[in-house]
Amino acid sequence: MQDRVQGKRGLFDRPSAIAALMRDLDWSRTPVGPVEDWPQSLKATVRTLLASRYPMILTWGPEFTQFYNDAYAQLIGDKHPEALGIDIRTTLAEAWDTLGPMIDEVMRSGVANWTPALLLLMERAGYREEAYFSVSHAPAEDDDGRIVGMLAVCSEVTLQIVGERRIRLLRELAAKAGETRSVEAACRESMAIVAQHPLDVAFLLLYLPDPDGVGLSLRGVVGLSADDPAVPGTVRLDGEEPDPWGLRGAAAGKTVVIEDIDCRVVRPAGPWGDPARFAVSQPIGGSGHSPPLGVLVTGTSPNRALDDGHRSFLHLLAGQMAVILGNALAYEAERQRADALAELDRAKTAFFSNVSHEFRTPLTLLLGPLEELLSRGSAWDAADRESLHTIHRNGLRLLKLVNSLLDFARIEAGRAQVRFEETDLATFTADIAGSFRSAIETARLRFEVVCEPLSRTVMIDRDMWEKIVLNLLSNALKHTLSGTIAVRLTGTAQGVALTVSDTGSGIAAEEQERIFDRFHRVSSALGRTHEGTGIGLALVRELSRLHGGDVRVASDIGAGSTFTVTLPWEPDAGRAAGEPETGDIAPTPLRAEAFLAEAGRWNDRNTPAPATPVATVAEDETRLRILVVDDNADMRDYVVRLLGSDYAVVTAGDGVEALEAVRRTRTDLVLSDVMMPRLDGFGLLAALRGDPATRDVPVVLLSARAGEEASVEGLGAGADDYLVKPFSSRELIARVRSTLTMARLRREAADAHHDAERMRALGQLTSGVAHDFNNLLMVLRGAVHLIGRRTAEPTIRGVLDQATEAIERGALMTRQLLSFARRQRLEPQPVNVNRLLANLAPVLDRAFPENIRVELELGNVPAVLVDRAELEAALLNLAVNARDAMPQGGTLRFETGWPTDAPVDGTPESNRFIRIQVIDNGTGMAPEIARKAFEPFFTTKPPGKGTGLGLSQVYGFATQSGGSATVTSRPGDGTAVALYLPTAEHAHAA
């Protein structure tokens, strides 16, 4: 017996749990018998098995008695340790249909096998489990060389196989994410992909929100039928009907696990057709304040555990669906926007076409008689003749714009008729360019025209070519303030090339792609005027393309631009000349006269009205002075003529010149256009309001932008009035007179000192005194500092220290005076009051006497929108007052919370304000004193102990911040000061 025990100990003497089990097992009751009777081959194989850290199992004898090691024990789960020493066919009965033939073949042939990723049905965790193993079976021989068993080496690769399969599903969905063009297609195609992976997804239900947002509708289904009673077609999110799939919870952003679904739906799934047992309902996308895009209900595989890895896969599945649906929604939204823009574009084109046609009739009737009147020049005096010229110039400008719009409308509608003619293009181009010479040279620019004769004539539409050349020259003159404009026409192998180059302001690289888009204007471009529609260059491109050519630009900021138009020698066959369609109106040639009339006024930027020359205006101090700012010379002249008889009027061509004029001479009112080069009207207004010397100058803005939004923008920027063009002369004169009157009344009100304005006047007085004090104190502080550096005599030093203390006290008082006058500029920002008080309390605790205790009672309140430094100063001010009220000691308590008592401005709005209370249990105040606590200069302290501005400063800070302050006190019961400050959220909303 002792020998038997010693033999078992020697064989199983291994530091492993399985070796210990084998040592304790009574092997005599198994088919292999006592250990001491085992053949040496069995013992040697068992030793090898126990020594290995790789999963190994040995079967021996006709009863397939099994031996295995610790690594293998983990593979069979809860079947261990009962499996040790019994028949493997019992242990792996569910998988023996797969394993049995393989083992029989090895034992019969004596040839080992190797099978990677072998699918086996395992029941090792209470359910039928899909598992994969890489396994090798080898024959096991006894001492006589007979095959009596099998030795298997195996490893589980389930996680690898299942993981790769799940990743493949996610990858296939990802490949579709960028291809879907509609939500319907996204649902259909994603469901088709999921249907190809039944081992990982037993079934899938996809719900998306209804258009009204109050319910969910089924938009995709895999593995179940949409007609199944257990599959609801719709679910109201605010309803009370049953929600078996947890859709409401998932729509609210939660992940819901539904158990025992096999009693609700029978869906065979997995490799062996077992019914699904779990489903997971989860939101698709959505984070923060954005709602989910939908809800995904996934039936899980019945043969895989719902572990962390499985949950992670489901989360990724929902995330991939979110990408697909998000892309589809974004594409649909973009397509809808594109369709809406296209429809708007069509409507705009139709509108321009109709309006342009209607405009041309009255313009013809306007310009014809005007030209007749102008031909009788001797019949008119100088002023009337100038007025007629102004009307004629601007009528031509309007005709130019109308014709350009009409051309665009015709091109957009496909109704543009190109009438090609054989043309000596060099001569024709030189003639067109020559019409611009006077305007260009008047602007002090060099003008070069090089149009060498070409080898042949060119087929062009002469009216269209004229528009191309005139638009390019007009654009060059507009943006070239000095240097050269050059026109060159050359022949090439393919056709002709026209270049119009300038040394102007240039075009930024990011703008060059859009410069030919219609209605696009480069807002930052420098030029002689800010006027323009963004049509000219776009029309050049369209007209060039109608000729079979194109236009391009090369430009650098500050170095100028070169526009190149290329045309073929012969037009395309499909561009033959034709007659206008029925009902179409033949294009009106765009005369150079219209361009020249407009360009000629760009050079006249600062011409004052003849009736009020600059010298006269400068000497006239008896009349109010008005500065008219506009980059359109005709508009400047018109306004000057309207106002010149009653006011001293000067002019400026843009905001930069206007700003210099206002700073140089007295100006009683600025009348400014909004759209101007260099500095526009809003920029001028901001500069005037930002300079203390010009802050109060009245400003009236003129703009062609109509509508309430434009007026609100102008008035909100600080303008005194906003006048929309076109305006009548009577309206302009009335608005100017009204604005000047209001400015005078404001000045008079500022000088008044009647009782109703006592507090405001007092604030202004203290502000001025404080500023003067500051200047004096700076001088005194500097003088005392210099003397102190030159002497070390103790007596003198003592006097200087006292002087310094007095100066600092004076500086403190001036700061309080300035704060009371509320001249300081607050810088509001979101402030966490609780955090501020938590940091402030320890500082006060250390600074205050030991008999004063500081307490905090902080509620759950949001941030407030105030000036942080001013809030700290107010709290310190209140804390010092409370300390002084408790000479015998006591408790100073800070409380924060929502207001439950006092309203602000007479209306309870507790959700817009938080309340900060500073409470002491000191001496308190009588009611008549408490009522005056916030009045400036009121104090109960002895002379020299206080200015009476502390609580007034606190009150001023609270009201200037948009809130209020109250004080509650009774003699002997202490004092509570409450600050009501706006929350950051509501302050921003306001």
Q: What is the pLDDT of residues 618-661, one digit of tens each?
A: 445 678 999 999 887 778 888 888 898 889 999 998 889 999 99
Both tokens of residue 964? 């209020």
Give residue-wise pLDDT tens across range 512-542. 677 777 655 555 556 555 555 567 777 888 8
**Cβ-based neighbour number of residue 26 at 10 Å:** 9
List C-alpha distances in Å: 212 to 183, 251, 292, 586: 17, 15, 15, 51
What percent of the chain has pLDDT above 70? 73
Amino acid at 158: T
Closest CA to 974 of 902, 887, 885: 885
pLDDT top residue among 820 and 196: 196
Rounded CA-CA distance 7/17 in Å is 18
Instruction: Tell me: pLDDT of 608 over 50.
Output: no
pLDDT top residue among 52 and 606: 52
Both tokens of residue 956? 């001023």
Least confident of 214-218, 455-459, 518-522: 518-522
pLDDT in the model for residue 421 = 87
Instruction: Tell me: pLDDT of 96 over 80.
Output: yes
Give residue-wise pLDDT tens across range 240-271. 888 889 999 999 889 999 988 877 787 788 88
Rounded CA-CA distance 413/352 in Å is 11
Q: Which residue has the tokens 């051309």?
A: 407
Hey, CA dihedral for 759, 761, 764, 769, is it positive or negative?
A: negative
How confident is residue 730, by pLDDT bands cut at 50, 70 and 90? confident
Q: Which residues contact 31 (CB under 8 A, 6 or more apart)?
A: 61, 62, 63, 65
Rounded CA-CA distance 746/698 in Å is 11
Instruction: Tell me: pLDDT of 863 over 80.
Output: yes
Mean pLDDT of 423-430: 87
Give residue-wise pLDDT tens across range 552-595. 888 888 788 888 888 888 876 545 444 443 334 344 444 555 56
What backbone torsions phi and psi does residue 152 show, to the nearest 5 degrees? Answer: -115, 135
Write the DSSP assignment of 618-669 as a string of letters: HH--SSPEEEEE-S-HHHHHHHHHHHTTTSEEEEESSHHHHHHHHHHS--SE
List C-alpha distances in Å: 77 to 15, 120, 127, 194, 426: 21, 14, 12, 31, 95
How confident is residue 20, by pLDDT bands cut at 50, 70 and 90? very high
Instruction: Tell me: pLDDT of 510 over 60.
Output: yes
Mean pLDDT of 106-128: 89
Write the DSSP assignment of 212-242 as a string of letters: TSSEEEEEEEESS-TT-TTS-SEEETT--S-
Quote the pTM value. 0.44
- Of the CA atoms within 13 Å of residue 315, those in its CB half-sphere come to 10
pLDDT top residue among 972 and 909: 972
Give residue-wise pLDDT tens across range 366-412. 666 666 666 666 667 776 666 666 666 666 656 656 666 666 566 66
CA 127 remoteness from chain centre: 52
CA 338 remoteness from chain centre: 21
Mean per-residue pLDDT over the chain, rounded: 79
Hey, CA dihedral for 808, 809, 814, 819, is it positive or negative?
A: positive
CA 595 remoteness from chain centre: 42
Rounded CA-CA distance 790/773 in Å is 26
Give residue-wise pLDDT tens across range 30-57. 999 999 999 999 999 999 999 999 999 9
Return the percent helix, strand and coil in the chain, to nearest 5: 45, 20, 35
Instruction: Tell me: pLDDT of 688 over 50.
Output: yes
How confident is residue 704, by pLDDT bands cut at 50, 70 and 90? low
pLDDT in the model for residue 725 = 72
Mean pLDDT of 845-874: 87
Write the DSSP assignment of 789-821 as a string of letters: HH---HHHHHHHHHHHHHHHHHHHHHHHHHHHH
Contact 278, 297 (CB under 8 A): no
Amino acid at 449: V
